[in-house]
Amino acid sequence: MELRVLNYFLTVVNAKNISRAARQLHVSQPTVSRQLQALEDELGVPLFERGSREIQLTSDGLYLANQARQIMALVDKTVTNIHQTKTISGTVLIGCGESQMMTTVGQTINTLKHEHPGIQVNLFSTDGNTATERLQTGVFDFAIVMTPLMDQRYHFLRLPGASRWGLLLPNSSPLARQTTISAAELTKIDLITPQQNGINELFENWLGHTTDDFHVISTYNLLYNASILVNAGVGAALCLDNIINTSHTGLTFVPLAPPIDSKASLVWLKGRPLSEAAIAFLNQLKTNVEDH
Which pLDDT score, from 0 to 100, does residue 92 have? 95
Same domain membership, residue 197 and residue 134 = no
Average pLDDT of the residues in 117-129: 87
The tally of domains found in the chain comes to 3
Average pLDDT over residues 199-216: 86
Residue 139: closest CA among 284, 278, 290: 278
19-77 pLDDT, tens digit per residue, is 888 888 888 888 888 988 998 899 999 898 876 667 888 899 899 989 989 998 888 88
- When pLDDT is cut at 50, 70 and 90, the band that residue 127 belongs to is confident
CATH number for 198:
3.40.190.10
Q: Same domain for 14 and 99? A: no
- Indicate if 157 and 269 belong to the same structural domain: yes
User: Do residues 35 and 147 share a domain?
Assistant: no
3-state secondary structure of 229: helix
Residue span of the structural domain in which 141 resides: 84-161+264-291
Q: Could you tell me the pLDDT band of residue 215, with boundaries at 50, 70 and 90? A: very high
How many other C-beta atoms can be found within 10 angstroms of the C-beta atom of residue 2?
11
Residues 272 and 150 in one domain: yes
- How far CA 141 is from CA of 92, 124, 160, in Å, comes to 6, 11, 20
**Other Cβ atoms within 10 Å of 24 Cβ, number:** 13
CA–CA distance, 269 with 140 (Å, rounded to integer): 10
Does residue 279 carry a pLDDT above 90?
yes
Per DSSP, which regions of 221-270 are E strands? 236-240, 251-257, 261-262, 265-269
Residues 253 and 283 in one domain: no
| 232-235 own/partner pairs: CB under 8 Å, 24+ apart | 233/170, 234/190, 234/192, 235/189, 235/190, 235/191, 235/192
Quote the CA–CA distance of 54 and 139 in Å, as a whole number: 30
For residue 148, is pLDDT > 60?
no
Verify that 72 and 210 share a domain, yes or no: no
> Do 74 and 210 fall within a single domain?
no
Q: Rounded CA gap, 203 and 186, in Å?
A: 11
The percentage of residues in the chain with a pLDDT greater than 70, rounded to a whole number, is: 95
Check whether residue 125 and residue 194 sit in a common domain: no
Examine the domain organization and report whether 269 and 241 are in the same domain. no
| Same structural domain, 135 and 167 | no
Checking if the pLDDT of 85 tops 60, the result is no
Q: For position 27, which CATH number holds? A: 1.10.10.10
Per-residue pLDDT tens digits for 233-254: 999 999 999 888 898 889 999 9
Query: What does the pLDDT read at residue 147?
Result: 63
Mark whether 60 and 103 lie in a shared domain: no
